[in-house]
Structure 1
Amino acid sequence: MAHGKPSPDIFLETVKQIGCTPQECYVFEDSENGIKAGFAAGCRTIMVPDLFEPSDTVRSMCTGVYSSLGEAMENISLILL
């Protein structure tokens, strides 16, 4: 990739390769730059923060914010609505 996150390039290329639209994809990320990239690509974003809690701006870009990947998976039926 020519540009790293928060550029959406990696997600746009992935969507292209799997043959779907960004709106059909969910991005699970642990960083603000990852969320910004997924959101800019038009994907639905799920944040599982690693070191820092997301800012209000980043939180507004998220479909959901979970304390662990396990918690996100427990709520997958809500996420996929």
Structure 2
Amino acid sequence: HGHTALLKLDAGSHQSARLHPGWVKLMVLSGELKIGDQTLQSHEMFMIPANTAYTVDALTEVYCLAISELDGVELAR
């Protein structure tokens, strides 16, 4: 089973490369963040395919909604 979470990221924060066993959909509610080389702004969505490594950088304070297909996360090497 997956889950849905409301996330708050502080401006300038960085999340190391990670991957999930299922897809993850992110909707930016406010702020601006970078996922890999994609920059997302308020009201934009992004889908991360299953088992795809990615990093997250908050360019400003960010609130986003994360919906995952399956539970679990693994730090990429």
TM-score band w.r.t. shorter chain: under 0.3
Identify the structure with the greater strand proportion. Answer: 2
Identify the structure with the greater helix proportion. Answer: 1
Rg bigger for which structure?
A: 1
Give TM-score scaled by structure 2 length: 0.24
